[in-house]
Amino acid sequence: MARLRPAVIVHYHEISLKRGNRPLFLRQLARNLERAVSDLGPVRLRQLTGRILLDLDGNEHPEAVRDRAARVCGVASVALAWRVASTIEAMKAAVAQIVDGRRFPSFRISARRAFKTYPMTSVELNRELGAFVLERIGHDATRVDLHHADLDVHLEVLPAETFVYVQPTPGPGGLPVGASGTVAALLSGGIDSPVAAWRMMKRGCRVLFVHFHSVPYLPATSQAKARALVERLTEWQYRSQLMLVPLGEIQREVVLTVPPPLRVVVYRRMMVRIAQVLARQSGVLALATGESV
């Protein structure tokens, strides 16, 4: 019986296209992954060809590690995998433990070789392991379906070991947070500004949040909402700063001196000018808003 050891396989796509800056982006992605799972027990990170391995030997929270990794910008997909030797016998044993006890009307085997000197081609591996599943489960219980399979068993064959998994979890994609500098996001209580901030994270920007409120002239509801939004968005960059800026006195002065049709424009202009000063004080060179979302 093959010894199954757990691991999380992290795939990235866009980073692979960044030829000149790829090492920089990979180092940033590795740092972000380590930060994301730092409180979940022992996790050893290792970079492999075209993927990152999170070794979970001794870890008691493999599903939590997978879910955290799936929220790291720059990650295309993650999967909780089993590590076995790169022999056909070990692969069959791993596949057997995956399919035993499951009910699936159709299935497919998706094997990929990370090195082309393996004695069997990907097609041959698919056929060999597919025939093994049919023989083990029974031709009456399941069938092969290459297009709409109920169960898709993935195998990634490397020289030293093979990773076997099902149901990869999609990630946000894009670039790792911190690879493209920092922006200051003007955060309102609506949906547009947090979406804009999240999209900036996907482009590799760390986001500093700025929220304008009208306390004591209005209740502190907007502050609580801003804190809740930042708490949710922090799941994608794992460290955030929220600046709460009182705007009540400025609004009061605008009401006294500016005609009603122009007040909203003046409010927005003042918020942008204040955010610009705060951004410069924090070393931030760009502002992000939700107007164009």
> What 3-state DSSP class applies to 190?
coil
* Residue 51: alpha-carbon gap to chain centroid: 14
65, 152: one domain: yes
Q: Give the separation between CA 67 and CA 77, rounded to whole angstroms.
A: 11
pLDDT digits (tens, 9 = 90+) for 248-262: 999 999 999 999 999
The conformation of residue 292, written as its DSSP 8-state character, comes to T
Indicate whether 54 belongs to any domain: yes
CA distances from 127 to 81, 142, 153, 154 (A): 21, 15, 13, 13
State the CATH number of the domain containing residue 32: 3.30.2130.30
270 compared with 5, residue with greater pLDDT = 270
pLDDT (0 to 100) of residue 284: 93
- pLDDT category of residue 1 using cuts at 50, 70 and 90: very low
Which residue range(s) make up the domain with 20? 5-170
The conformation of residue 12, written as its DSSP 8-state character, comes to -
Task: State how many domains the chain has.
Answer: 2
146, 202: one domain: no
pLDDT (0 to 100) of residue 16: 83
pLDDT digits (tens, 9 = 90+) for 123-151: 999 999 999 999 999 988 999 999 999 99
164, 51: one domain: yes
- Residue 41 pLDDT greater than 70, yes or no: yes
- Residue 97 pLDDT greater than 80, yes or no: yes
- As a whole-number percent, the residues of the chain with pLDDT over 90 amount to 81
The residue-averaged pLDDT of 94-106 equals 93
Q: Choose among 69, 21, 45: nearest CA to 204.
A: 21
Q: Give the separation between CA 148 and CA 4, rounded to whole angstroms.
A: 28
Q: Give the separation between CA 36 and CA 29, rounded to whole angstroms.
A: 10
Q: Give the separation between CA 98 and CA 188, rounded to whole angstroms.
A: 47
Lowest mean pLDDT among 112-121, 141-150, 166-175, 200-209: 112-121
Query: Which H or E run contains 189?
Result: none
Beta-strand pair 162-166/182-186:
unpaired
What is the distance between the terminal CA atoms of the chain, rounded to a whole angstrom?
Answer: 54
State the CATH number of the domain containing residue 280: 3.40.50.620
pLDDT (0 to 100) of residue 160: 86
The letter for the amino acid at 162 is T
Indicate whether 10 belongs to any domain: yes
Indicate whether 177 belongs to any domain: no
pLDDT (0 to 100) of residue 293: 53
Which segments of the chain are extended strands (E)? 5-11, 44-48, 51-55, 77-84, 106-113, 143-144, 151-157, 162-166, 169-170, 182-186, 206-213, 242-246, 287-288
Q: Give the separation between CA 37 and CA 31, rounded to whole angstroms.
A: 10
> Is the distance from CB of 210 to CB of 185 less than 8 angstroms?
yes
Indicate whether 75 belongs to any domain: yes
Mean residue pLDDT of the chain comes to 92
Which residue do the tokens 């009540």 mark? Answer: 248
145, 99: one domain: yes
* Residue 226: alpha-carbon gap to chain centroid: 22
Q: Among residues 149, 170, 191, which one ends one of the domains?
A: 170
> Is the distance from CB of 78 to CB of 8 less than 8 angstroms?
yes
pLDDT (0 to 100) of residue 286: 94
Q: Give the separation between CA 234 and CA 241, rounded to whole angstroms.
A: 9
96, 61: one domain: yes
Indicate whether 44 belongs to any domain: yes
pLDDT (0 to 100) of residue 5: 86
156, 192: one domain: no
Residues in the chain: 293
pLDDT digits (tens, 9 = 90+) for 150-175: 999 999 999 889 999 999 999 999 99
Give every CB contact of residue 131 below 8 A, 6+ residues apart in sequence.
Answer: none
Q: Choose among 158, 205, 201: nearest CA to 181.
A: 205
